[in-house]
């Protein structure tokens, strides 16, 4: 027998809260260098999309530009019937969120659900790309094109399990570890691993909880956790952008090294091949530096609220600070390469001038001897 008390569903027999579970499967796509959200909002009606209410990011996370939220309706992805939503960030990321409720929130069902989501990960990737592909054709005027090859290959995923209460089955920490790691309950995890995950839990009240893994979060929140899901989405979008910039710079370094090696021949005496290379390196350093600055300034942290603490933990889990530092290092390397190639240009010009001076002196001496 089930009865309602203080917002909880209780079993009259045991008096134990029945657990409602909502799952958010997120896919972040890099779709452009930047997006004009006003133009995109103007084009949404042509794409038949409903604009959701203006998104308010969680307290403590202040965006320079509010993202644009669009409703996508119902989507079937593999065996999952979901409600889909698109959030577009001006720094070039389209975040697609598939949400569905779970009727069975027992320990075995949650562990199996985690396994099922892993096995259908490619289906969610494909669904997200298909959704954006249909929108992109009508949204192109709002997009500043990015690198097409990287945009087609890079994708970031994150899944959030939101439970309305703790489980009453077995050890909750052990069950949660199985769900986070996508491991079946049939084989028990090492106690040290379970304790390590539990020791990194984030809590504010006694009845809430946030546990993090690399691409999965588990949240226990009686009042719902939409603000925390938004936190994971923002951090995941930033991680995708850092991955994009890193890949862009790595490729630029390789291409510059190859072209510089090919150009470093004695045949180029009167016209240096290093000038266009130096210019290309300088432009790349400036462009990626500007994009990185825009990304780092997209969100400002204010105060020390619970959501800010969660964001900092997610950023630490994603190693966002390290990713940003690595990109800065690569930008500095590009700037140094541009300077070095520029020095080669000046050296070759100096050599040419010296050859011309020697030639003129030789002509004068030859004339005087005659």
| Tens-place pLDDT, residues 34-65 | 899 888 888 777 666 778 766 567 778 888 88
> pLDDT at position 16, please?
44
Which range, of 78-87, 205-214, 358-367, averages the lowest pLDDT?
358-367
pLDDT at 24 over 90: yes
> pLDDT at position 328, please?
85
Mean pLDDT confidence for 124-140: 90
pLDDT at 182 over 70: yes
> pLDDT at position 275, please?
65
Average pLDDT, the chain: 80
Question: Any idea where the domains of the chain sit in the sequence?
Answer: 2-223, 234-369
Q: What percent of the chain has pLDDT over 70?
A: 80
330 pLDDT band, cuts 50/70/90, is confident
Calpha distance 94→244 (Å, rounded): 14
Calpha distance 201→212 (Å, rounded): 8
This prediction has a pTM of 0.80
């Amino acid at each position: 027998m089930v009865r309602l008390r203080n917002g909880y569903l209780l079993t009259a027999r045991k008096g134990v809260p029945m657990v409602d579970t909502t799952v958010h499967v997120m896919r972040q796509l890099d779709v452009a260098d930047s997006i004009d959200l006003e133009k995109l909002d103007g084009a949404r009606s042509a794409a038949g999309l409903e604009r959701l209410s203006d998104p308010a990011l969680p307290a403590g996370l202040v965006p320079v530009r509010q993202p644009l939220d669009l409703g996508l309706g119902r989507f079937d992805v593999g065996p999952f019937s979901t409600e889909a939503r698109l959030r577009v960030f001006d720094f070039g990321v389209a975040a697609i969120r598939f949400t569905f409720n779970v009727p069975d929130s027992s320990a075995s069902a949650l562990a199996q659900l985690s396994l099922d989501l892993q096995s259908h990960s490619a289906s969610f990737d494909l669904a997200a790309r298909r959704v954006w592909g249909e929108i992109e054709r009508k949204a192109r005027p709002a997009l500043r094109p990015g690198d097409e090859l990287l945009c087609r290959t890079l994708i970031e995923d994150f899944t959030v399990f939101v439970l309305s209460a703790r489980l009453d089955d077995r050890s909750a920490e052990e069950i949660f570890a199985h769900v986070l790691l996508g491991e079946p309950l049939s084989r028990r995890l090492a106690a040290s691993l379970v304790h390590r995950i539990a020791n990194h839990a984030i809590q504010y009240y006694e009845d809430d909880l946030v546990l993090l893994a690399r691409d999965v979060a588990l949240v226990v929140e009686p009042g719902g956790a939409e603000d925390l899901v938004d936190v994971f989405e923002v951090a995941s979008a930033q991680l995708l952008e850092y991955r994009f910039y890193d890949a862009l710079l790595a490729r630029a370094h390789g291409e510059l090294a190859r072209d510089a090696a090919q150009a470093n021949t004695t045949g180029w005496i009167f016209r240096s091949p290093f000038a266009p290379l130096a210019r290309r390196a300088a432009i790349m350093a400036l462009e990626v530096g500007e994009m990185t600055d825009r990304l780092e300034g997209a969100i400002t942290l204010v105060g020390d609220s619970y959501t800010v603490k969660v964001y900092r933990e997610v950023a630490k889990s994603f190693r966002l600070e390290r990713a940003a530092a690595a990109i800065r290092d690569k930008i500095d390397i590009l700037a140094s390469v541009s300077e070095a190639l520029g020095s080669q240009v000046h050296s070759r010009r100096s050599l040419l001038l010296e050859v011309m001076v020697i030639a003129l002196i030789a002509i004068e001496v030859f004339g005087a001897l005659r």
